[in-house]
Structure 1
Amino acid sequence: MHYIRIMMYIDTLTDADITRILKDTKVIALVGASAKPERPSHRVGNFLASKGYKVIPVNPGQAGKTLFGETCVASLSEITEPVDMVDIFRRAEEVGAVVDEALHALTGLKYVWMQLDLVNEKAAALARAQGAEVVMDRCPAIEIPRLGL
């Protein structure tokens, strides 16, 4: 007989929390940015840029190209300006390394946002321990219109 362990994530963030985070954020590093219009990271990056956020695309395969009106960088460590939020479009098993790099490389990081279906409690705990707030399993391109922002 095989047993499957099911972990359940319970989101405790309120609408007021998400509103505060989105209003406080000005600069977003979008990890996993794609140049392909059909990819969620491309659509979300464009949406955030259209809402006035500065979206710095991060993807080694797109480095040097322009996405969302900004030059794409290969890694978070190449970003020299303060970043409020890192928005992660990577697989759950890659999130820990992304969060670790973000915490070490980004000046002023306040928020770690993991996209829909993306939950990594270990990475979240690491971010919280360093003073960053964490949002998991949500999309800002859904939350902004839902909250009327």
Structure 2
Amino acid sequence: MTLLESRAEVRRVLEEHRVVAVVGFHPDPTKPAHYVPEYLHRQGYTVIPVNPALAARGESYFGQRAVATLAEIRTPVGVVDVFRRSDRVREHLDDILAMQPLPRVVWLQLGIRDDHTARALMSRGIDVVQDRCMLADHRALL
């Protein structure tokens, strides 16, 4: 697929894909990895937290039980939203590609880029957004 960069492409993702799995979800409401997903939930998105420690404790957020891996999710996911350092994104490639069905988009949050992983995802038909904040784009475009 493609690297999505235009406002129109990003807007289409936000409008069409309402189920978001959040890799690196954080329980602290002062962290972006919590308040961005919380904002999306308040906007009507289904948000699935992905964090092995929270899953091991059986925690739930926004009405969804935390999972340890993306491959555990059985609901079709439109967007995998990644809150991990750029040098850690590649560690999640196999987990993303193990999802059934594959997600439509992988979104790397503001400040996060991994061109190698982006190319690998696009070669499998997954669109990629890099270095953008879903909260800021939602506010600006919708």
Question: For this structure pair, what is the TM-score category when the shorter chain's length is used for normalisation?
Answer: over 0.9
User: 1:39 — aligned with what?
Assistant: 31
**Runs of 5+ unmatched residues, structure 1:** 1-10
Q: Which structure 2 residue ranges, 5 or more long, are not aligned?
A: none
Amino acid at match of 2:30: E
Residues 61-72 of structure 1 aligned to structure 2 (within 5 Å):
61-63=53-55, 64-72=58-66
Q: Distance in 2 between matches of 1:127 and 1:12?
A: 12
Q: State the identity as a percent.
A: 38
Deviations 1:40-84 (CA, angstroms, capped at 9, x unpaired): 110001001011110000001111201122110111121111111
Indicate if the aligned counterparts of 2:4 and 2:129 stay in contact, CA closer than 8 A.
no
Larger Rg: 1
Segments of 4+ moved more than 2 angstroms: none
Task: Assess if the C-alpha contact under 8 Å between 2:96 and 2:102 holds in 1.
Answer: no
Residue 91, structure 1, aligned to residue 85, structure 2: yes
Q: Does 1:25 align with 2:17?
A: yes
Q: 38-47 or 68-77, which moves further after superposition? A: 68-77
Q: 1:49 to 1:91 in 2, by over 3 A?
A: same
RMSD: 1.3
Residue 105 of structure 2 corresponds to residue 102 of structure 1 = no
Question: In the comparison of the two structures, how many residue pairs are matched?
Answer: 138
Deviation (angstroms), 1:99: 2.7
Contact residue 83 and residue 106 of structure 1 kept, 8 A:
no
- Within-5 A mapping of 1:1-149: 13-63=5-55, 64-147=58-141, 149=142
Helix, strand or coil for the counterpart of 2:26?
coil
- 1-side partners of 2:5 and 2:21: how far apart? 21
